[in-house]
Amino acid sequence: MTLKETYLKGCFVMSPKIILDQRGSFFESFNKKEFQEQTGIDINFVQDNQSISSKGVLRGLHFQIGKYAQAKLVSVAKGMVLDICVDLRNDSETFGKHFSIILDDKDNKQLFMPRGFAHGFLVLEDDTIFTYKCDNYYNKSSEKGILFSDSRLNIDWNFPENLIQLSEKDKNLPTFETLFK
Whole-number pLDDT of residue 28: 82
- Residues 172, 174: Cα–Cα separation, whole Å: 6
Neighbouring-strand partners of residue 20: 25
Pseudo-torsion of CA 75, 118, 61, 79, nearest 10°? -10
- Domain chopping of the chain, boundaries: 2-179
Residue 165 is classified by DSSP as B
Cα within 13 Å of Cα(52), Cβ side? 2
Identity (one letter) of the amino acid at 70?
A: Q
- Residues 79, 167: Cα–Cα separation, whole Å: 21
Whole-number pLDDT of residue 95: 96
- pLDDT, average across residues 74-79: 98
Q: Is 119 a known active-site residue?
A: no
Cβ-in-10-Å burial (0-12, 13-18, 19+) of 56 comes to middle
Asked if the model's pLDDT at residue 1 lies above 90, the reply is no
Asked if the model's pLDDT at residue 181 lies above 80, the reply is no
Among residues 7, 62, 68, 138, which one is catalytic?
62
- Residues 85, 146: Cα–Cα separation, whole Å: 11
Of how many residues is the chain composed?
181
Among residues 68, 98, 119, 132, which one is catalytic?
132
- pLDDT, average across residues 59-71: 96
Is CATH 2.60.120.10 correct for 2-179? Answer: yes
- pLDDT, average across residues 48-55: 97
Q: Is 98 a known active-site residue?
A: no
Whole-number pLDDT of residue 157: 97
